[in-house]
Amino acid sequence: MNRSARPDQPDQQALFAWADTPVARAAPGAFRDSPQARRMLDVREVYAEPAALDSPRGQQIMARLPGVRVTEVDGHWRIPSLHGNDGNIARWVRIKTETLVLGVKHTLATRPNGRSADWIAPGPSNGCAMACAYCYVPRRKGYANPITLFTNIEAIVAHVQRHVRAQGPKTTPNQCDPTAWVYDIGENGDCSVDALVCDNTADLVAAFRDLPTAKASFATKFVNPDLLALDPRGRTRVRFSVMPPADARLLDIRTSPVPERIAAAADFLDAGYEVHFNLSPVVLRPGWQRDWADLLTHLDDVLPARVKEQAAAEIIMLTHNQALHEVNLGWHPRAEEVLWQPDAQETKRSQNGALNVRYALEIKQRSLARIRQLRTRHAPWLTVRYAF
Ligand code: SF4
């Protein structure tokens, strides 16, 4: 790690002002070619496995990136100049903005979950162009972890279709959904940002449109108006992640500002999505209760009744990681002033040896109870699917 590198100046960027943006309102499908979209992703170089380049999806992606330099690689997991943290601290926002990796996903497996979703589907990507300070997605590749798109999307879709059909109808309601098997399709990235450069998200939304016993689900911190044109017919759940804007400005680097995510909810509902919210992560710091009360009040004030009637939420307390803490000290130490609270947190070694950090059990339980009280008081219509 290059501690002497000058840290980037992190701050949450307003990519566009949702309410006033003509492209957002007038021309769904055009956003990905807009200057606002290019502030998020302006691909200048592609690292690609040859098989990914040769695939129809790879060719489609590259046709939209004329003149972009391509470096062929043996595997999407092994790109020393991109992955890992050493030497990359000062430039990872640039890497995330300008670099794309194309690969083939060889292992297609659906895992049971049972909390947010019934199942975790094999994701169409991993990595992210955004840079949330608490993000667990970089845990395996390092923080400079640009988007890797998997180009064998037909195989991913066919796998999911087979898995859904093998389940048959869902006969027992649970916290994920009363009637549909819920498949998380975005565990390791953000499907809304992927859709700026590729149709993988569109293909999965289209596939679930024709699966009446199942529903796709993904969390997002980015408002991409192009998704409004995908016609999900109620079979895709978008979960807009929200937190007090003061926390988001410090921690949710490069994301759409929280008020924009909330303001987009009705448009997504009207376009055929189910719209839920992730109240996450809940970060404990002075004033957190007041700010979460304000956020819930804001949700209550601005969301129309039709959004409230179908909305539900997950509440997720912050978990952190010692290695990520060390990395963040090199580029965004102000974030660590709130994320790293050893007096309130306990550590647990995970199966892969990483030292994970979470709020001590008693503090966590007390805080979750308080958030539930705030919800009851300020947003009683917001069903809590689960709190963790
Ligand atoms: S948007 Fe999600 S995947 Fe992307 S950096 Fe933030 S937490 Fe990670």
pLDDT of 94 reads 87
Nearest CA to ligand 1 atom 8: 135
For the segment 232-268, what is each residue's pLDDT rounded down to a tens digit? Answer: 999 999 999 999 999 999 999 999 999 999 999 999 9
In whole angstroms, what separates CA 182 from the centre of its chain?
A: 17
At 10, the pLDDT band (50, 70, 90 cuts) reads low
pLDDT of 7 reads 42
The pLDDT of 194-200, averaged and rounded, is 97
92 or 362: whose pLDDT is higher?
362
Residue 219 exposure: Cα atoms within 13 Å on the Cβ side: 21
Written as six digits, the tokens of 108 are 């297609």
189 C-beta closer than 6 A to ligand 1:
yes
| Stated pTM of the model | 0.92
Burial 258-280 (b: 16+ CB within 10 A, else e): bbbbbbbbebbbebbbbbbbbbb
Nearest CA to ligand 1 atom 7: 135
The pLDDT of 356-366, averaged and rounded, is 96
pLDDT of 377 reads 98
From the alpha carbon of 222, which atom of ligand 1 is closest? 1
The pLDDT of 170-191, averaged and rounded, is 97
62 or 354: whose pLDDT is higher?
62
Q: Is 381 helix (H, G, I), strand (E, B) or coil?
A: coil
From the alpha carbon of 136, which atom of ligand 1 is closest? 8
For the segment 78-99, what is each residue's pLDDT rounded down to a tens digit? Answer: 787 777 665 566 677 888 999 9
The pLDDT of 201-223, averaged and rounded, is 98
Best mean pLDDT range from 25-39, 125-139, 156-170: 156-170
Query: How far is the centre of ligand 1, averaged over its atoms, from the C-alpha of 369 (Å)?
Result: 26
40 C-beta closer than 6 A to ligand 1:
no
pLDDT of 27 reads 52
| Out of 132-141, 148-157, 169-178, least confident range | 132-141
316 C-beta closer than 6 A to ligand 1:
no
The pLDDT of 148-176, averaged and rounded, is 98
Least Cα distance to 36 among 51, 52, 50, 22 occurs for 22
130 C-beta closer than 6 A to ligand 1:
yes
Contacts of 1 (CB under 8 A, 6+ apart): 85, 86, 87, 89, 326, 327, 330
Query: How far is the centre of ligand 1, averaged over its atoms, from the C-alpha of 168 (Å)?
Result: 33
What's the rounded Cα separation, in Å, for the pair 335 and 325?
9
Mutational test site, ligand 1, from 15, 132, 256, max ligand atoms within 8 Å of CB: 132
The pLDDT of 260-280, averaged and rounded, is 98
Calculate the CA dihedral of residues 191, 44, 102, 126 and round it to 10 degrees.
Answer: -40
- All structural domains of the chain, each given as residue ranges with its CATH number in brackets, are 18-278 (3.40.50.12110)
194 C-beta closer than 6 A to ligand 1:
no
Share the mean pLDDT of the chain: 90
128 C-beta closer than 6 A to ligand 1:
yes
Best mean pLDDT range from 29-38, 161-170, 320-329: 161-170
What's the rounded Cα separation, in Å, for the pair 46 and 60?
13
